[in-house]
Amino acid sequence: MRSSFGFINAVILSVTAFILFSQTALAEPLELSLDTCIALTYEDNPALQIAEAHTEQAAWTIKEAQSNKNVSIDYTHTDMRSTSPPTWSTSSEAFSPYNYFSNQVVASIPLYTGGKVENMIKQAELAQCQGSCQ
């Protein structure tokens, strides 16, 4: 009985010593200058991050609006397999299955947009100015 009491005391003493002597080192306080504090504030401010995102979005909107002035090229491919007679055929006889392929390339340039493209560019520039002013 005496040896188990000594064992329990030894365990309690060793756990207490471990807790007392294994404290984590306290972090040394940072010495921050005013400029560093302001930079950290700007870095972590969600309102400023949102304003920056709006400014970037407005810049991309300007580029998108300006691209509407350029030539646009569209390509369309169609393929079909059918057993019904083609619409251009006058015969109503049964046809063997046939394949139909069609390719189309269209290049277009806006000649007159009624000021739509120019107004989209101005609107995007104003949105960018508004985002940078906030």
Per residue in 66-102, pLDDT tens?
A: 888 888 899 999 988 877 766 776 766 666 777 888 9
Q: If pLDDT is split at 50, 70 and 90, which confidence band does 103 have? A: very high
Q: How far apart are CA 119 and CA 113, in angstroms?
A: 10
Q: Is the pLDDT of residue 24 over 70?
A: no
Cut 0.85: pTM above it: no
Is 109 within the bounds of a domain?
yes
Residue 20 in domain: no
The residue range of the domain holding 115 is: 33-133
Element at 99 (helix H, strand E): strand 98-108
Residue 78 lies in a domain: yes
Helix, strand, or coil (residue 30): coil
- Whether 4 is in a domain gets the answer no
The amino acid present at 56, given as its one-letter code, is: E
Domain count, the chain: 1
The answer to whether residue 68 is domain-embedded is yes
